[in-house]
């Protein structure tokens, strides 16, 4: 299970298992009265195993998992993989932005410092980002062990490298992408449809297991964590709201719970009827109103 970085690790399995258990404990009455349910993922090992771990945490044999949709045929949970205009644009825009940032003072100081620590004056950008990946992925994999890969970076170096990730994702799927919010609107419409079905009397739970790119597109469509002006490649914004290490870390989850208030203002229970939509990214709940984007918008992109 730990043989490649594209696989879900034991720690990741445990996170999703515990998340399922917390959902079971918090929404036990709803789970016991469901009319329909749906759990499905993209066709990668880590999302398939994440789905299995979460459902295992629910501890109910009635919950089954749908077969994943083959890559390139995604509709709701990973539409950007079948949007040709997005794919073509994505190959160039964020590369240009990153190239500009590499000429800034912050980046050059980081690169010089890392080269000096490792004693390799010809260390390339790809070498540095490779070391950074080893640092952060190993630290996530073995949280209770010392990580030698991180010793080549100072605190300021890590902040610069974090900003590079944020800048890349901003142009890839965030507010600097012309398609980020449009593609993020697709699962939001599906959300509305599921909420409407619940309003009409069908208690249900729907769980999609996807990737950080999709999460960030949804966040963009919701208008959350928007910097004014947007972060750019000319300077490093240290007070930015758009931080992918907080928006989309491992095991990020976005949950929407529908409630209905009865007479007297008392809630009937989670998942019933209509009310405010609560959006939660891990432990940070937030109420939001998605913009009126629809699947028709997405259909126009590929024409």
pLDDT tens-digit map of 197-243: 887 777 778 899 999 999 999 999 989 899 998 899 998 999 999 99
Query: Domain map of the chain by residue range?
Result: 10-301
**Residue 264 confidence (pLDDT):** 57
Which pLDDT belongs to residue 262?
65
pLDDT computed for residue 91 by the predictor:
67
Pick 196 or 117 by higher pLDDT. Answer: 117
CA 113 from chain centre, in angstroms, equals 31
Tokens 């730990």 correspond to 2
Residue positions counted in the chain: 303
From 131, 145, 295, 162, select the one nearest 238 (Cα to Cα). Answer: 162
Position 284 pLDDT exceeds 70: no
Phi (first) and psi of residue 268, to 5 degrees: -75, -30
Of the two residues 123 and 68, the one the predictor is more confident about is: 123
In the chain, the DSSP E strands lie at 36-41, 204-209, 254-257, 259-261, 267-270, 278-281, 284-287
Summary mean pLDDT of the chain: 82
Tell me the fold of 10-301.
Rossmann fold (3.40.50)
DSSP code, position 87: H
With residue 69 as reference, give the H or E element that holds it.
none
Half-sphere exposure (CA, 13 Å, Cβ side) for 1?
A: 13
């Amino acid at each position: 299970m730990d043989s490649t970085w594209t696989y879900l690790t034991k720690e990741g399995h445990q996170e999703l298992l515990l998340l399922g258990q917390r959902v079971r404990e918090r929404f036990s009455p709803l789970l016991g009265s469901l009319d329909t349910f749906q759990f499905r993922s993209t066709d990668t090992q880590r999302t398939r195993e994440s789905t299995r771990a979460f459902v295992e945490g629910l501890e109910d044999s009635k919950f089954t998992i749908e077969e994943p949709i083959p890559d390139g045929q995604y509709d709701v949970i990973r539409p950007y993989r079948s949007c040709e205009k997005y794919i073509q644009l994505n190959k160039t825009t964020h590369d240009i932005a990153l190239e500009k940032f590499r000429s800034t003072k912050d980046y050059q100081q980081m690169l010089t410092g890392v080269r000096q620590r490792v004693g390799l004056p010809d260390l390339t950008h790809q070498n540095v980002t490779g070391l950074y990946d080893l640092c952060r992925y190993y630290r996530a994999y073995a949280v209770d062990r010392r990580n030698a890969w991180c010793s080549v970076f100072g605190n300021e170096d890590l902040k610069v490298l974090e900003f590079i990730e944020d800048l890349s994702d901003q142009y890839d799927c965030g507010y600097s992408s012309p398609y980020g919010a449009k593609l993020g609107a697709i699962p939001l419409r599906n959300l509305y449809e599921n909420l409407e079905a619940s309003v009409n009397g069908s208690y249900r739970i729907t769980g999609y297991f996807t990737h950080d790119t999709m999460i960030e597109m949804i966040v963009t469509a919701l208008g959350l964590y928007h910097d004014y002006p947007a972060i750019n490649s000319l300077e490093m914004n240290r007070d930015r709201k758009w931080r992918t290490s907080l928006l989309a870390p491992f095991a990020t989850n976005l949950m929407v719970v529908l409630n209905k208030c009865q007479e007297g203002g008392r809630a009937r229970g989670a998942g019933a009827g209509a009310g405010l939509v609560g959006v939660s990214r891990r432990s940070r709940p937030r109420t939001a109103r998605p913009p009126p984007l629809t699947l028709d918008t997405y259909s126009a992109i590929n024409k």
